[in-house]
Amino acid sequence: MENIEQKKYKCPLEYTQKVVGGKWKPIILWHLATEGVKRYGELKKTLISISHKMLSQQLKELEIDKVIHREEYHQIPPKVEYSITEKGRTLLPILELMHKWGIENVEG
């Protein structure tokens, strides 16, 4: 029996594109997968040209799709950390291929 999420997409590639598509999502996932847990400010420094609004939006979408985890610590000052989930780790082979392709094909 199909779940609601499966019924929204006519092709599995559509769902994959929704989860990791766009300019920033693969890069955010790559950094979390290869560098480990990051705070919001650390991600912002790593992704120099991303706006605060875009970073917040992309993190929320990745969290909704359960490929990253947001851990909020109730302290002063507030602390939030992001990490990749097990579901997110299943995307690593795709990200690794994209990374390898980029190294092999970048013009410079």
**CA separation for the pair 77, 63 (Å, rounded):** 22
| Low-confidence spans in the chain with pLDDT less than 70 | 1-7, 108
The predicted structure's pLDDT at residue 53: 97
The pairing of strands 68-73 and 38-39 is unpaired
Topology adopted by domain 11-105: Arc Repressor Mutant, subunit A (1.10.10)
Predicted TM-score (pTM) of the model is: 0.87
The two three-digit tokens of residue 101, written as one number: 């392709």
What DSSP character marks residue 3?
-
Annotated domain spans of the chain: 11-105
What DSSP character marks residue 47?
S
Sign of the CA dihedral with 54 first, then 71, 15, and 103 last:
positive
The predicted structure's pLDDT at residue 1: 40
